[in-house]
Structure 1
Amino acid sequence: MRDRDNRKSELLDYYGIHAIPSCLLIGPDGTILARNLRGEQLHNKLAELIKI
């Protein structure tokens, strides 16, 4: 995939981003914890991860 300046982006390829905007939750070690969550699903996942 290419970035907004039409340059090849290894980071977009690495994380499998095929469209922008894209929502990823990335852990401290760089692993993808969740993808494309919105609204209530995003809230629930964040609550689970930070244990509120």
Structure 2
Amino acid sequence: MAKINVLDREVGIVVENDEDYICITDIARYKNAENTDDLIRSWLRNRNTA
């Protein structure tokens, strides 16, 4: 898995079929390291998530 720096934080990236996918778990870990699942669950429930 490749890594990029976003706002001085490392975020994983996977490339598959010429599409880039970021690791939302890495992003959630910086927001709340102990409860990353809560942030991801909320993100998935959001109707505006595309």
TM-score, structure 1 normalization: 0.31
TM-score, structure 2 normalization: 0.32
Which of the two has greater strand per residue? 2
